[in-house]
């Protein structure tokens, strides 16, 4: 699922990188007009790559979290497959919504946040997502426990 969803963004990134490299080469040989043209193309592909990543973020999240806020007291936010910045963005939105519901009902709520343990993290020995999510929760003043590795229980009120 992850690879399929990210493929379009990776394609745009490859073309963007090729444009920027060609722009660099054109600049080095003195063809500044061509360098500028290629740079502008690279920037356009960069925008398309970002849009493709946003589309992938939504697809990955929705597939892992169908109807996440409609399941009564059984709340789970599964962040597997998301980049750190994407996961934090989604947490802000989802926890903000849950905070509103908790305040409206006057009740404390719990949500389980699945961050994984980093087994699929490439190029690094340390899982980035759990660390970033825990830091986000601390920054937001939210209390949490870790009932098992890769799973956080967050108190929302």
Asked whether residue 53 is domain-assigned, the answer is yes
Final residue of a structural domain among 19, 38, 61: 61
Same-domain check for residues 152 and 101:
yes
Asked whether residue 13 is domain-assigned, the answer is yes
Of all residues in the chain, what percent carry a pLDDT higher than 70?
Answer: 89
Asked whether residue 67 is domain-assigned, the answer is no
Q: What pLDDT does 25 receive?
A: 98
Same-domain check for residues 83 and 31:
no
Question: What's 97's domain CATH number?
Answer: 3.30.1370.110
Of all residues in the chain, what percent carry a pLDDT higher than 90?
Answer: 78
Asked whether residue 8 is domain-assigned, the answer is yes
Q: Is the pLDDT of residue 157 over 50?
A: yes
Q: Which residue is associated with the tokens 């009740």?
A: 107
Same-domain check for residues 88 and 152:
yes
Asked whether residue 70 is domain-assigned, the answer is no
Would you place residue 119 in the very low, low, confident or very high pLDDT band (cuts 50, 70, 90)?
Answer: low
Same-domain check for residues 94 and 43:
no
Q: Mean pLDDT over residues 91-120, rounded?
A: 90
Asked whether residue 16 is domain-assigned, the answer is yes
User: How confident is the model over 47-102, as pLDDT tens digits?
Assistant: 999 999 999 998 999 888 887 544 455 689 999 889 999 999 999 999 999 999 99
Task: Please give the residue range of the domain that contains residue 51.
Answer: 1-61
Same-domain check for residues 43 and 86:
no
Q: What pLDDT does 115 receive?
A: 95
Same-domain check for residues 39 and 82:
no
How many domains is the chain partitioned into structurally? 2
Asked whether residue 28 is domain-assigned, the answer is yes
* Residue 152 falls in which region: left (phi positive, over 0), alpha (psi -120 to 50) or beta: beta
Same-domain check for residues 96 and 44:
no
Asked whether residue 15 is domain-assigned, the answer is yes
Same-domain check for residues 97 and 53:
no
């Amino acid at each position: 699922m992850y690879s399929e969803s990210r493929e379009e963004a990776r394609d745009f990134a490859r073309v963007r990188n090729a444009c920027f490299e060609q722009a660099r080469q054109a600049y080095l040989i003195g063809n500044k007009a061509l360098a500028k043209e290629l740079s502008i193309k690279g920037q356009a592909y960069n925008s398309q790559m970002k849009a493709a990543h946003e589309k992938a973020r939504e697809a990955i999240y929705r597939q892992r979290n169908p109807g996440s806020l409609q399941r009564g007291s059984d709340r789970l936010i599964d962040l597997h497959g998301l980049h750190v910045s994407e996961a934090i963005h989604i947490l802000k939105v989802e926890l903000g919504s849950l905070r509103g519901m908790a305040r409206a009902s006057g009740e404390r709520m719990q949500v389980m946040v699945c961050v994984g343990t980093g087994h699929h993290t490439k190029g690094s020995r340390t899982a980035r997502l759990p660390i970033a999510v825990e830091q986000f929760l601390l920054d937001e003043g939210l209390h949490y426990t870790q009932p098992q590795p890769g799973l956080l229980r967050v108190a929302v009120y």
